[in-house]
Amino acid sequence: MNKVYLIGNLTRDPEVSETSGGVPYCRFSIAVNRNFTNAEGNREADFFNIIVWRGQAEPCGRFLKKGSKIAVVGSLQNRSYEDKDGVKRTVTDIVASEVEFLTTNRGDEEDLARPVKKERLSLEPVDSDDDLPF
């Protein structure tokens, strides 16, 4: 089984592009805080490269920005390439199957997972059942 669940913040603005065959994709990276602090008392983070394909690519590029909080469900995928010096490099990406936006796009960093405050209706007592339509 190859399944990853992450919640983190974008480290840079997303980049949207298309393959030579016209398939849209979006790339970005996120920082995910570790559950513990180091010896100096600082919380460390891990950084992950995310790629989103097809229908989710455009909304990610449009609504996400550096600092946005997101939840990602996906799988790990390795790829290799040669750098400009001819050295073979291997990169691990998270291929997202689901992306949930946890920050609003208004820039005020409100958490969408927070419960919405509901208004309480005020009801008036009925004196007589004669005025009821049922």
- The percentage of residues in the chain with a pLDDT greater than 70, rounded to a whole number, is 77
pLDDT number for residue 116 = 42
Q: 2-28, pLDDT tens digit by residue? A: 999 999 999 999 999 999 999 999 999
pLDDT number for residue 103 = 85
d(CA 54, CA 73): 15
In 3D, which of 104, 102, 85 has the Cα closest to residue 7? Answer: 102
Domains of the chain, first to last? 4-107 (2.40.50.140)
d(CA 133, CA 58): 51
74-96 average pLDDT score: 96
SS3 (DSSP) at 57: helix
Question: How sure is the predictor about 60, in pLDDT bands with cuts at 50, 70 and 90?
Answer: very high
